[in-house]
Structure 1
Amino acid sequence: MKKTFLFIMAAASVLAVSCSSDDSNDTPPIDNTVYLPLSQGNYWVYDVTSTQEAGQATGRDSLYVANDTVVGSTTYKKLKTQSMANGFFSGALSGNAIRQNGTKLQLTGSTAFAFSEYFPVELSITDFTFFDSAASAGTQLGTTSGTIEQPTEEGYNLSIEYELKATTGETLNSHTVQGGDTYSNVKTVNITLTLTITALFDAGGFTIPFEVLPEQDVVTSTQYYVENIGAVHVSTLIEYNLVDLSGLNVNLPIPQSGTIQQEEVLDTYNVE
């Protein structure tokens, strides 16, 4: 049985000074809406289902607010999971620093995408805005891009161009998750990770680039947020296809292709 919490929001007072019926000086209300409560000790438990060609795997993630952490001169909240995360959402937030900046939620730290357990791709990010309660649908919230180079056991390097971006989705009057729970006034965010991977082969002192992963949206994730609760559902598609290398006698530390559909559904939570 999920707990319902009553939040007392501070009301902004309005002082009007009128010289006539047409003159006024109104102070706009302060937006105190919270879509990810970050008080220490808050936690969310998610049921995680991952479906791929080999079958279906299930697990549970317990994500919680562990402590304050200072980055530069700014204080954030550090989120953690009780064990290694199964889900994309919990994995992206775990170990990182989160802060509420006005109506925005921002993340600082690193997030990793693993093609396999032997080849994770780790991205460093600073104040990446992944949610804004005041943004309209289609608004780009945060974006970060760059190129990283990783060696392989086969003796060549892989150049990985990436772009991570967050875009505001639509606001839903209601949203029903697996298990039957229905939430009202749900705000959505779309997260996309786009990758291009090029193998860099050494040939007598010359580098020969060969594109093994043309530009693709490797991760597309839709996150559903409810006021004073947090993310109640995250639906993520992980999908990619490498070019055919069968004629080149090249071994890559990445499977030829992959498709995983993952659902993270909030089961229980405790927030204040």
Structure 2
Amino acid sequence: MKNTFFLTILLSAFLFSCSPGDSSANNSSAADYFPLKLSNYWTYNVDKAGTIDHDSIFVAKDTTINTFVYKKIESKIAPIGFMSNSLNNNELRIDGNKILLTGKPNLNFVTNIGINLSLSDFVIFKSGASANEILSSVSGTIDQVYNSYPITINYTLKSVAQGDLATYTSPNNATFNNVKAVNTILNIKVTTLLGPLPITVLEPQDVIVSTQYFAKNIGVVHANTVYNYNLSTGLGSNLGIPENGNQIINEFIDTYKVN
């Protein structure tokens, strides 16, 4: 009888210690890291090579796509930063520990050159992701004409979790707790025809690498985006494109209202 009693106590203690009642950062819902209630808004100071501009985005309305309810993200004026620009006029929804994007993000890495891509439930955030976990990946080919030249763009767009940060201090010296970072990466290869010959204009390169920092109970508090490309020697002048380009844009949270 004693043995049965002690066995019951041990089993109860084990089950209690393993119960899901533990609350930790890894168990947080995605909604904690990007609150998407109507009228929530975020404003950003955008640093573009030392020139400071301002972006703002807000949750405008509910919209239904294929029976799922999404939150429409809008801006009063066209945003400058990559993160705000990618979300503007597109839809987000929370699916458990994931934030899903549906729409057409701005993915230009040179003026008027990029990919016109429609995304459906592309994962931009996952609260329980491990470092270097690929959250979403889409690949394809796009044909278009640029300065009278036919060009073919082979692309891969992916989002990759970068792990958790107990505290994070952004380059503008603002500190945040419970932060999760995600990389959004666009890799492309560009080819064209010069006469009858196929020519590689751009070898496969990561032309956009953007890191977004999501802080609990706020949303994205900092986004660092690097645009970088190097064309094959001598081909830029034919297409009317600079042979290389590099630009870094930082979006720093300024004000916000979340419910």
Name the CA distance, whole Å, in 1 between partners of 2:82 and 2:63.
Answer: 23
Using the aligned pairs only, state the percent identity. Answer: 37
CA distance 1:36–1:253, shift in 2 (3 Å):
farther
- 1:139-182: CA deviation from partner (whole Å, max 9, x where unpaired): 1111111110111232x311001111111112122112244321
Name the CA distance, whole Å, in 1 between partners of 2:106 and 2:222.
Answer: 20
Counterpart AA for 2:53: G
Indicate the RMSD between aligned Cα atoms, in angstroms. 2.2
Shift of 1:250: 5.9
**TM-score, reference length from structure 2:** 0.87
Shift of 1:118: 3.5
Shift of 1:92: 0.7
Note the 1:17-28 alignment, pairs <5 A.
20-23=8-11, 28=20
Name the CA distance, whole Å, in 1 between partners of 2:63 and 2:242.
Answer: 37
Deviating beyond 6 angstroms after TM superposition, the runs of 4 or more aligned structure 1 residues are none
1:172 equivalent in structure 2: 165
1:161 equivalent in structure 2: 154
Note the 1:235-254 alignment, pairs <5 A.
235-245=224-234, 251-254=238-241
1:6 equivalent in structure 2: none
- 1:71-107: CA deviation from partner (whole Å, max 9, x where unpaired): 1111111101111111000001111110111000110
1:15 equivalent in structure 2: none
Shift of 1:115: 3.8
- Are residues 1:44 and 2:31 paired? no
Name the CA distance, whole Å, in 1 between partners of 2:113 and 2:85.
Answer: 16
Note the 1:21-100 alignment, pairs <5 A.
21-23=9-11, 28-29=20-21, 31-33=27-29, 34-51=32-49, 56-100=50-94
Counterpart AA for 1:61: D
Aligned partner of residue 68 in structure 1, secondary structure: strand
CA distance 1:250–1:239, shift in 2 (3 Å):
closer
Consecutive unaligned residues in structure 2, runs of 5 or more:
1-6
CA distance 1:120–1:219, shift in 2 (3 Å):
closer
How many residues get paired? 244
Which of 100, 106, 116 is the matching residue for 1:112?
106
Shift of 1:234: 0.6
- Are residues 1:269 and 2:259 paired? no
Aligned partner of residue 119 in structure 1, secondary structure: coil
**TM-score, reference length from structure 1:** 0.83
Shift of 1:202: 5.1
Shift of 1:21: 2.6
Note the 1:198-237 alignment, pairs <5 A.
198-201=191-194, 203=196, 208-237=197-226
Structure with the bigger percentage of strand: 1
Name the CA distance, whole Å, in 2 between partners of 1:254 and 1:222.
Answer: 26
Shift of 1:58: 2.1
Aligned partner of residue 136 in structure 1, secondary structure: coil
Which of 127, 144, 152 is the matching residue for 1:133?
127
- 1:44-83: CA deviation from partner (whole Å, max 9, x where unpaired): 00000112xxxx4321001111111111111111101111
2:145 equivalent in structure 1: 151
Consecutive unaligned residues in structure 1, runs of 5 or more:
1-18
Shift of 1:28: 2.9
